[in-house]
Structure 1
């Protein structure tokens, strides 16, 4: 082999270690940016899902109160929207099949909280999810999501 041919093969041989490391760094950086954007979108979707389910439950509670002349008691809870309670007021008419077919869980897999009377919302009841952390209170992503937000 002649010397010119060997030099040409070395130049055309491939990438240097530095070039490969730069490419790996750029791919890692892009992956991190994409990951944070995807996780943020998922969290936003979970909050919106919780708000939508709270609105659905609140609408069912309003229908219940129109038919039953009051909201379910604290003891009856949200289950009164699915199953007919024992003590029906005189003249009240519980809707056949209930007001909702199944109680939804919040996006984090926990039941919604129903409190009567409502201290947080200033309404007849409070209806809320504890949010991502599953604990009362919290800030930002861990904040409670309730009917006081609507």
Structure 2
């Protein structure tokens, strides 16, 4: 009787390792498709900080309109997204919603046309 050899663990796990590395690389490349995203979220942080100061002085923030109520006391100028569009703003009086519609300026899209909000995982002004 001949003895059967078991395949080495490396033969079994090596292809799985390549798949995992491929997925990680793909996700890393996919996440870098929008160079304007960093600027958008930096602007959101500045606007949210200004809104916090405004709210501390006025006990609430406006519910709709543009952000002109922040200029010049809370912000020196109104920021625009990296593609030259104004940020969309809405609020329930306590929680602001900021949005950029991406490079094309139209709701929805992928890559550089992707929409960004302050509620997509980046600094959110907490309700009071």
TM-score normalised per structure 2: 0.62
2:58 aligns with: 68
Larger Rg: 1
Q: Secondary structure at the match of 1:128?
A: strand
Query: Secondary structure at 2:89's aligned position in 1?
Result: strand
Structure 2 unaligned residues grouped into runs of 5+: 1-31, 123-128
Residues 1:127 and 2:77 aligned together: no
Match of residue 80, structure 1, among 43, 66, 69: 69
- 1:107/1:56 Cα in 2 relative to 1: closer, same or farther (>3 Å)? same
Contact 2:44 2:98 in 1 (8 A): yes
Greater RCO (Cα-Cα under 8 Å, separation 6 or more): 2
Structure 1-normalised TM-score? 0.54
What is the aligned partner in structure 2 of residue 145 from structure 1? 116
| Alignment of 1:57 onto 2:32 | no
Question: What is the alpha-carbon distance in structure 1 between the residues aligned to residue 86 and residue 52 of structure 2?
Answer: 19
In 1, the alpha carbon distance for the partners of 2:76 and 2:33 equals: 27
User: Displacement of 1:43 after TM fit?
Assistant: 4.0
SS at match of 1:57: helix
1:110 and 2:81 are equivalent in the alignment: no
How far apart, in 2, do the equivalents of 1:142 and 1:43 lie?
8
Q: State the superposition RMSD in angstroms.
A: 2.4
What is the match of residue 86 of structure 1? Answer: none
| DSSP-derived class of the 2:74 partner | coil
Aligned residues: 91
User: Which consecutive segments of 4 or more residues in structure 1 shift more than 2 A?
Assistant: none
CA displacement at 1:42 relative to structure 2: 8.8
Extract unaligned runs of 5+ from structure 1: 1-40, 83-96
Q: 1:78 touches 1:103 (CA, 8 Å); kept in 2? A: yes
